[in-house]
Amino acid sequence: MPVPILKQGDCLIASIQSALTDAELLDLRDELSGRVGRHRSKGVIIDVTALDVLDSFASRTLRTIAEMMRLRGAETVIVGIQPEVAFSMVQLGLSLDGVTTVLDLEEGLAHLERGRRNRVANARG
């Protein structure tokens, strides 16, 4: 099933609703990459609360998405990794090095809002 992507201000929020196949994860990557350009987004939140497994392919794809978004000028924040999913990722030797991860959607929005304030402050000098 496709992942709904909401636009909120200069952020995009991709809210994964159920387990995804590899093809669906790659569709999400391509869809986000296009939308970041269309909406000139500065931040992307990917909510993985509904994912019961984050295996090697999913981890690699999330890292790829984050790096693609960075190259397109947007910061990616992964939110909602469940405790048992985090434990299995560590056991398996997976990491999301270089990707910002926070507890939940609320924290994710707050993180991007801080980044936005810093940009405004810097622009004013």
Question: Which of 1, 71, 92, 103 touches other proteins (CB under 8 A)?
Answer: 92
Give the N- to C-terminal CA distance of the chain in Å, as an integer.
Answer: 45
Residue 66 binds to other proteins (criterion: CB under 8 A): no
Could you tell me which stretch among 3-11, 14-22, 67-75, 97-105 binds other proteins (CB under 8 A)?
Answer: 14-22
Residue 25: half-sphere exposure toward Cβ, Cα within 13 Å: 20
**Measured distance CA(44)–CA(66) in Å, rounded:** 9
Q: For residue 9, what is the DSSP state?
A: T
- Decide if 109 contacts 78 (C-beta within 8 A): no
Question: Which of 2, 7, 37, 84 touches other proteins (CB under 8 A)?
Answer: 84
Beta strand 75-79 pairing with 5-8: unpaired
Residue 97 binds to other proteins (criterion: CB under 8 A): no
Question: Which of 6, 53, 103, 110 touches other proteins (CB under 8 A)?
Answer: 53
Closest distance of CB 61 from other proteins, Å: 12
**Measured distance CA(37)–CA(32) in Å, rounded:** 9
Question: Which of 6, 22, 104, 113 touches other proteins (CB under 8 A)?
Answer: 22
In the complex, the residues that contact other proteins under the rule CB under 8 A are 19-23, 52-57, 60, 82-85, 87-89, 91-94
